[in-house]
Structure 1
């Protein structure tokens, strides 16, 4: 059976977390689609950003990633597909989520299939998927699937398959991501060990900021 690598970024700040719960639901649905519909096995790597918050901050200050952060970056950027889930604060993604994105090479997510997920207290923040998250991944030249999944507090009680219900949105988004991951070869691509690290270029870590 063909194997694909799926990375999951959960920008949760607390435990337990609705953001991690959404990430898990999206992951389970995507894995099921890949195995049952596409005949593809999946190697899943879940990263809770709260666990590497200090590493991310130190990298922003020094320009150099720790071994732990380097490993996480490799896991994320070399995956065949990516699921992201972030809480929404003040109408946008969390600062921790954006800080992690900022330490990535700007070209490292080129062509990456991405499923966008977000959580918040009320449905009024759902537009953050399209006015904050989608433009961010468009800038990074990733391929965000058409269906983003926002889960407000009241959504977690929904168990119906009605159009617009959380389980329905999860299944639709998972199907879209699975179709892209099934044909991805990102994790099989051979990286040039002698290529220069672009973090040392004018667009990388040593900026005027």
Structure 2
């Protein structure tokens, strides 16, 4: 399975990238994944040029293709003005509207204060719902005081488990086209989202 990690951190080192790495490591403990990390700050100039000329540069095009080919995504943004960063939003503005449709996505954010944690539900979740992604139930927010404190590792593990379960379920052979049976049309065997979550909770 291919996991693409999008980090919108601007500084080096970046707490946003640190959270992205922690989440990626947790997913790797649940399943074998091929990971590709995309640092959006490295694409800032090409994203800006795309807005003005309509064409992606080489690195931006490669990132767009990686997202389209992914089995699942981890997306992490710093909080700016009580929302996701402009760079984060700009990347999805130049992405094909159907690139993340149906893909499992783990949303996460970092900020200086716990008061901004609702950005996950008020900004990120609506964005990916609009893009028709399958957003995992547990979102992860890390304020400055969360690093090294109790609670963050548990949220990371829970979110990673949910993402892995969705990635595994959506790529399982049971979702491949099945031969038509008597009185039925050929189609897909789909496991309802609620059943997948129930199975995950029972582990």
Q: TM-score range by the shorter chain?
A: 0.7 to 0.9
Equivalent residue, structure 1, for 2:129:
138
* Separation in 2, partners of 1:185, 1:169: 24
* Separation in 1, partners of 2:115, 2:103: 28
Query: Which deviates the most, 133-142 or 63-72?
Result: 63-72
Structure having the higher Rg = 2
Q: Secondary structure at the match of 2:92?
A: helix
For structure 2, which runs of at least 5 residues remain unmatched after alignment?
177-203
1:1-209 to 2 correspondence within 5 Å? 4-34=1-31, 41-158=32-149, 160=150, 165-185=151-171
TM-score (norm 2): 0.83
TM-score (norm 1): 0.81
Higher relative contact order (CA 8 A, sep 6+): 1
Which ranges of 4 or more aligned residues in structure 1 deviate by more than 3 Å?
A: none
Q: Secondary structure at the match of 1:184?
A: helix
Q: Secondary structure at the match of 2:30?
A: helix
Q: 1:157, CA displacement in angstroms?
A: 2.1
* Separation in 2, partners of 1:23, 1:173: 12
User: What CA deviation, in whole Å up to 9, does each residue of 1:148-188 have, x standing for no partner?
Assistant: 00000000021x4xxxx1001001000000001113349xx
Aligned residues: 173
RMSD: 1.3
* Separation in 1, partners of 2:96, 2:116: 29
* Separation in 2, partners of 1:75, 1:127: 29
